[in-house]
Amino acid sequence: MQFGHCDIVIQTPYYLIDKSRLLQNLQRIDLVRKQSGAKILLALKCFATWSVFDLMREYMDGTTSSSLYEVRLGHEKFGGETHAYSVAYADHEINEVVSHADKIIFNSLSQFERHAGRAAGKPIGLRLNPGVSSSGYDLADPARPFSRLGEVDPARVAPFIGQISGFMIHNNCENRDFARFDALLGEIETRFGALLPQVEWVSLGGGIHFTADDYPLDAFCARLRSFSERYGVQVYLEPGEAAISDSASLEVSVLDTLYNGKQLAVVDASIEAHMLDLLIYRLQARVEPNAGPHRYLIYGKSCLAGDIFGEFDFPQALEIGQRLSIRDAAGYTMVKKNWFNGLTMPSIAVRELDGTERVVRQFGYHDYADSLS
């Protein structure tokens, strides 16, 4: 959270996507593409704000989805390769999914048997679950006990191998440790190594924070290339947060200050409505510079008692109307925003590479009313 700066006055709250910050991630992604030979798809479940797809498509190969609407958005707004995946496809939507997809990936053999005949001759993939992951949260762990996310037994998959062109394996979650990634990939090779040479492509999913400043990209690229060459497969990566990390902020204004054992401030946004992952995972918002003698507990304006962005330090006492900027508000943020309490939905603005800012989307009462009945 820092004092906001704008070239134009935009009414808060709004999400501000900074293309110059986004570009730093994209350039690292492009380096990985070139050095490793991997193709890289944007995971729309994390970030689907298509007003910046014009820049992203220059550095990425396409998109991957988790639903009918995401695969359609990827096809219509991003282009490139469009991979369709879902935990389960409904009978009434499978034909439309196929119409927008270049590849369709089934989560289970039962889904494969039910829908593969309607895939219109397109490449078909299957999700595998190696039973291990890097997740620190049980809520998000794809390898948790009794997981429904992918097939776990290579013996069950083997009879279908002639009908499957590739595998999707997603078991990295917020993994910033290359050694851990390397070990997990080794686990995949141990469990499914006999199947891998029999397909054409393998997606290793997302959750690998390879765009971080200190990530060993050369070692990462070498590992990906050796995996590809050993099994004769095209490797795909599906970054979400790695593609858009620290590229957006939630711009807010202070509405009230008060004291109740601590200095409190209320802003015109809400974690439940506008940064839901803070609530789900019990996280604190990112604050910069977070330094100074004036400490405040920053509250959202919803009626939820625990609507708290966090406790931060400021160089001066906060004042009504003061603009604050909550960092890292791109991943799993705009895609999860909601109408809780009927609060004003943040607008979406973009800071272009030349520094100019423009509002690309505003929301009003009719958007709220139309989302209900």
**9 pLDDT band (50/70/90 cuts)?**
confident
The average pLDDT across 114-124 equals 94
Please, what is the end-to-end C-alpha distance for the chain in angstroms?
Answer: 36
> With contact defined as beta carbons under 8 Å apart, do 285 and 298 qualify?
yes
CA distances to 49, 208, 312 from 234, in Å: 28, 18, 46
- pLDDT, one tens digit per residue, over 136-152 is 889 999 999 999 999 99
Maximum CA extent, the chain: 68
> With contact defined as beta carbons under 8 Å apart, do 264 and 296 qualify?
yes
87 CB-near residues (< 8 Å, 6+ apart): 66, 107, 148, 149
Percent of the chain beyond pLDDT 90? Answer: 95
Using alpha carbons only, what angle is made at residue 326 by residues 323 and 327, rounded to the nearest 5 degrees? 135
pLDDT, averaged across the chain: 96
Instruction: Compare 86 and 2 and report the one with higher pLDDT.
Output: 86
The average pLDDT across 309-317 equals 97
Q: 178-192 and 217-231 are packed helices; what angle lies between their axes, rounded to 10 degrees?
A: 10
**Confidence (pLDDT) at 288:** 83
Q: Is the pLDDT of residue 52 over 70?
A: yes
- pLDDT, one tens digit per residue, over 217-229 is 999 999 999 999 9
**5 pLDDT band (50/70/90 cuts)?**
very low
- pLDDT, one tens digit per residue, over 21-42 is 999 999 999 999 999 999 999 9
Alpha-carbon distance 297 to 1, whole Å? Answer: 12
- Tell how far CA 144 is from the center of its chain: 20
- pLDDT, one tens digit per residue, over 273-302 is 999 999 999 999 998 889 999 999 999 999
**205 pLDDT band (50/70/90 cuts)?**
very high
**Confidence (pLDDT) at 8:** 62
Number of alpha helices (DSSP H) and beta strands (DSSP E) in the chain:
12, 17
Q: Is the pLDDT of residue 1 over 70?
A: no
Q: Is the pLDDT of residue 358 over 60?
A: yes
Alpha-carbon distance 108 to 90, whole Å? Answer: 13
The average pLDDT across 62-91 equals 98
The average pLDDT across 174-188 equals 96
**335 pLDDT band (50/70/90 cuts)?**
very high
User: Strands (DSSP E) along 306-366, which ranges?
Assistant: 308-314, 323-327, 347-351, 357-361
